[in-house]
């Protein structure tokens, strides 16, 4: 089971790596090491690409026409990548589809978790998605507005964290109840 879960996590990371590359290149053209640094910083070290994972992803994105690489001479010869118009459009479409899918999965999970144990619906997803959309997709959002969006997101994440803490306590109680039931049948 852990092996399967690990493989799934790696596949998800690979998909998000390409998305993170496109997002990073929306800001400015960069070379590979610069992309790695920006992705690590921008994802709070959730995604930590290595050269071994980054360069194959860059090659795939370049072959798809979503980015282009150009050799430049600095202190040494480096390849600088930039996002193409096709890449910008693909990024926007992927983000929109991702949010639609994430909302559907969230609703599905909450509906099925409620069958196991009643839970309150914490309405953080729309705020979270709006915050990410504003930051990712709208180039005209001012720094002041981005700060405000991030503050609101932080507040909603704290609410979600409080909800999860309560839910964990509730799950622990449910486990203990079920363990007692097993003890009564044995």
Residues 14 and 95 in one domain: no
SS3 at position 36 = helix
Structural domain of 67: 2-83
Beta strands 30-31; 77-83: pairing state = antiparallel
> What is the pTM for the complete model shown?
0.62
Segment 107-120 shows an average pLDDT of 65
Residues 141 and 53 in one domain: no
The closest alpha carbon to 90, from 16, 19, 17, 13, belongs to 19
Residues 75 and 135 in one domain: no
Check pLDDT > 60 for residue 1.
no
Residues 70 and 92 in one domain: no
pLDDT digits (tens, 9 = 90+) for 115-152: 655 555 555 556 666 666 665 555 667 778 778 877 88
Residues 68 and 22 in one domain: yes
Residues 122 and 171 in one domain: yes
Q: How far is CA 49 from CA 52, 81, 82, 181, in A?
A: 8, 16, 18, 47
Q: How far is CA 148 from CA 43, 131, 141, 142, 154, in A?
A: 19, 9, 11, 10, 10
Segment 97-102 shows an average pLDDT of 82
Residues 79 and 101 in one domain: no
Last residue of a domain, one of 48, 83, 118: 83
Read off the CATH number of the domain in which 64 is found.
Answer: 1.10.10.10
19 within 8 A of 67, measured Cβ to Cβ: no
pLDDT digits (tens, 9 = 90+) for 52-62: 999 999 999 99
pLDDT of residue 128: 61
Residues 100 and 168 in one domain: yes
Last residue of a domain, one of 33, 65, 83: 83
Question: What is the percent of the chain with per-residue pLDDT over 70, rounded to a whole number?
Answer: 75
The structure tokens listed for 90 are 């693909």
Question: Which has the higher per-residue pLDDT, 123 or 14?
Answer: 14
Question: Which has the higher per-residue pLDDT, 112 or 42?
Answer: 42
Residues 131 and 72 in one domain: no
Residues 124 and 162 in one domain: yes
The vertex-165 CA angle with 136 and 158, nearest 5°, equals 35
Check pLDDT > 90 for residue 82.
yes
pLDDT of residue 52: 93
Residues 178 and 99 in one domain: yes
Residues 177 and 103 in one domain: yes
Question: Which has the higher per-residue pLDDT, 29 or 122?
Answer: 29
Last residue of a domain, one of 23, 53, 83: 83
If one counts the domains in the chain, the total is 2
The closest alpha carbon to 12, from 102, 131, 142, 116, belongs to 102
Where does the pLDDT of residue 165 fall: very low under 50, low under 70, confident under 90, or very high at 90 and above?
A: confident
């Amino acid at each position: 089971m852990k092996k399967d879960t690990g493989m799934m996590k790696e596949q998800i990371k690979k998909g998000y790596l390409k998305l993170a590359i496109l997002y990073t290149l929306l800001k400015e053209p960069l070379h590979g090491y610069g992309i790695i640094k920006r992705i690590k910083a921008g994802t709070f070290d959730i995604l930590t690409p290595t050269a071994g994972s980054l360069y194959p992803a860059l090659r795939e994105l370049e072959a798809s026409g979503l980015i282009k690489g150009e050799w430049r001479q600095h202190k040494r010869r480096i390849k600088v990548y930039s996002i193409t118009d096709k890449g910008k459009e693909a990024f926007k479409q992927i983000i929109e589809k991702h949010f639609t899918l994430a909302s559907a999965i969230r609703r599905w999970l909450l509906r099925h978790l409620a069958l196991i144990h009643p839970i309150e619906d914490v309405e953080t997803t729309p705020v979270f998605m709006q915050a990410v959309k504003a930051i990712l997709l709208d180039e005209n959002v001012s720094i002041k507005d981005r700060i405000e969006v991030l503050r609101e997101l932080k507040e909603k994440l704290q609410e979600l964290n409080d909800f999860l803490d309560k839910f964990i306590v509730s799950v622990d109680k449910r486990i203990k109840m079920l363990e007692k039931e097993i003890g009564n049948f044995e």
